[in-house]
């Protein structure tokens, strides 16, 4: 197997004096979906921001195809082929849907392929086609999320970073968005690094997963193995044994085995 597309090695990132990530290493291979799970404040978003250059790491390396990309400006990283779909969508509210999507293709010049990709976005997200001329601010949460992913796709990145695409969406919409994510991966060969709190869906669509707690990795493995892990079941999937009393307040000690 060739070297991983993205490698993070011993990354440490600070928010002021606070170490938000303390020594994280992670690999993403070409063509796979990798999920990073973790509770609020575990450092998942920081991790993605460090990859895309929105935050500088204090230590360690981020390698894209063997080339160091840490601590560079986000636009430089984006041109290298990394698109970041941020948490909370962050679409340009005053631009129309079409304009938002065009912004995604800002660094590209080949009009034919751009037009083809735009068509592909409308095909994946038919809901966007009907609102092409509408300002993004007027879209629903689900549509905005679709737009954000579509905008990321328009950059035709080598690696797509998705930060909590399920945030604030109804379970049905979550299913729909994730179906499309899987299609982007299988049909377009898009490599995806996915950060999620919704462990269940994330592990179902990904091939491998990492679990983050307070800034460090505590477990990694193939997604089906993680789904079967006792700790993941109890702490991320909420499937705890109810015990003899039918209810249980105490938590097991996490062992991450």
Partner 1 sequence: MTPVLQDGCDTLPKLFLKKTAERGDRIAMREKDFGIWQSYSWSDYRARAFEIAYGLLALGLQRGDVASIQSEDCREWLWTDLGILLAGGVVNGIYPTYQMRQVEHALTDSSCRFLFVEDEEQLDKYLAIEQQLPLIEKIYVFDWRGLRDFRHDKVANIEVLYELGREFGTRNAGLVESIVAAGCGDDLAALVYTSGTTGMPKGAMLSQRYIIFQTLLAPDQLLFSADDEILTYLPLCHIAERVFSGWLPIAHGATINFAESPETIAQNLQELSPTYFFAVPRVWEKFYSRITTAMSEATWIGCKAYDLALAAGLRRADKLIAGQALSIADKVGYALADRLVFRNIKKILGLNRAHSAASGAAPISPSLLRWFLAIGIAIDELWGQTELGIATTCHQGLFQFGTVGRALPGTEVRIAENGEIIARSAGQFSGYLNLPEKTAETLVEGWIHTGDVGVLDNEGNLSITDRLKDIIITAGGKNITPSVIENELKFSPYISDAVIIGDQRKFLSCLIMIDQENVEHHAQTHSVPFTDYRSLCARPEIIALIDGEVRHVNAGFSSVEQVKKFRLIDVLLTAEDEELTPTMKLKRSYVSAKYKDLIDSMYVQ
Residues that bind partner 1 (CB under 8 A): 9-10, 12, 22-26, 59-61, 210, 217-220, 243-245, 248-250, 253, 255-257
Identify which of residues 12 and 99 has a Cβ nearer to partner 1 in the complex: 12
Identify which of residues 14 and 256 has a Cβ nearer to partner 1 in the complex: 256
Question: Nearest-CA neighbor of 64 among 23, 106, 3?
Answer: 3
Identify which of residues 58 and 200 has a Cβ nearer to partner 1 in the complex: 58
- CB 194 → partner 1: shortest distance, Å? 17
- CB 102 → partner 1: shortest distance, Å? 39
Identify which of residues 11 and 201 has a Cβ nearer to partner 1 in the complex: 11
Identify which of residues 3 and 137 has a Cβ nearer to partner 1 in the complex: 3
Neighbours of 246 (CB within 10 A): 6
- CB 153 → partner 1: shortest distance, Å? 29
- CB 233 → partner 1: shortest distance, Å? 17
Identify which of residues 71 and 182 has a Cβ nearer to partner 1 in the complex: 71
* Residue 38: HSE in the Cβ half-sphere, 13 Å Cα cutoff: 25
- CB 37 → partner 1: shortest distance, Å? 13
Identify which of residues 22 and 108 has a Cβ nearer to partner 1 in the complex: 22
- CB 118 → partner 1: shortest distance, Å? 38
Crossing angle of helices 171-188 and 141-154, rounded to 10°: 10
- CB 209 → partner 1: shortest distance, Å? 11
């Amino acid at each position: 197997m060739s070297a991983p597309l993205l490698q993070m090695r011993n990354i440490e990132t600070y928010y002021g004096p606070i170490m938000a990530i303390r020594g994280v290493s992670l690999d993403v291979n070409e063509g796979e979906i990798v999920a990073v799970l973790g509770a609020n404040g575990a450092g998942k978003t920081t991790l993605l921001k460090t990859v895309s250059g929105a935050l500088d790491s204090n230590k360690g390396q981020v390698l894209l195809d063997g080339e160091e990309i840490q601590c560079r400006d986000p636009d430089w990283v984006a041109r290298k082929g990394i698109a970041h779909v941020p948490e909370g969508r962050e679409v340009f509210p005053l631009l129309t849907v079409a304009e938002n999507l065009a912004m995604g293709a800002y660094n590209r010049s080949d009009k034919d392929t751009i037009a083809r990709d735009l068509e592909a976005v409308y095909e994946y997200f038919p809901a966007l086609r009907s609102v092409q001329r509408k300002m993004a601010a007027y879209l629903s949460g689900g549509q905005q999320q679709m737009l954000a992913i579509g905008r990321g796709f328009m950059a035709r990145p080598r690696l797509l970073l998705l930060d909590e695409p399920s945030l604030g969406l109804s379970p049905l919409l979550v299913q729909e968005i994730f179906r499309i994510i899987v299609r982007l991966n299988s049909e377009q060969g898009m490599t995806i690094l996915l950060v999620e709190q919704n462990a269940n869906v994330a592990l179902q669509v990904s091939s491998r997963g990492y679990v983050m707690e307070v800034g460090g990795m505590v477990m990694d493995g193939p997604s089906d193995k993680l789904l079967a892990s006792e700790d993941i079941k109890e702490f991320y999937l909420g499937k705890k044994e109810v015990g003899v009393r039918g209810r249980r307040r105490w938590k097991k000690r996490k062992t991450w085995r």
